Amino acid sequence: MFWNLPFIAVVTLGLIGLATVVTKKNLIKIFLGINIFEAAVNLFLISLGYREGGIAPIFTSAPSTEMVMATPQALTLTSIVIGVATSALLLSFAVIIWKKYGTIDTDQIRRLRE
């Protein structure tokens, strides 16, 4: 029963992040929704690599069937680094838009552009 808990958390975080991106008008809140969705993807990758009773994939004499998969862990580390860079870029865009238009509300920015 509890082995599905990480996947339930992935779906919940994914829906929260997606709903935030779709419904909010504030750029900072939209970017936070993107970060929440990214956390859901990272949790999904880590959940895929989990194995009950598994050990770390290091040099050892343990049989290969008892080890967790290292690939999802490596992909998650890469995803975290990319996510930090993306967050910094998005926040810098928000600062530039605020300096140019004086607001970070997407509806007001659209009206000011026309």
pLDDT value, residue 34 = 95
Give yes or no for residue 91 having a pLDDT over 90: yes
5-50 per-position pLDDT tens digit = 888 999 999 999 999 999 999 999 999 999 999 999 999 998 887 7
54-88 per-position pLDDT tens digit = 777 776 676 666 677 778 888 899 999 999 999 99
Structure tokens at 72: 């999802």
CATH number of the domain at 70, please.
1.10.287.3510
90 near 32, Cβ under 8 Å? no
38 near 61, Cβ under 8 Å? no
Give yes or no for residue 114 having a pLDDT over 60: no
Domain coverage including residue 79: 2-113
For residues 42 and 45, give the distance between their C-alpha atoms in angstroms, rounded to a whole number: 5
pLDDT value, residue 6 = 86
Counted domains in the chain: 1
pTM, to two decimals: 0.83
73 near 48, Cβ under 8 Å? no
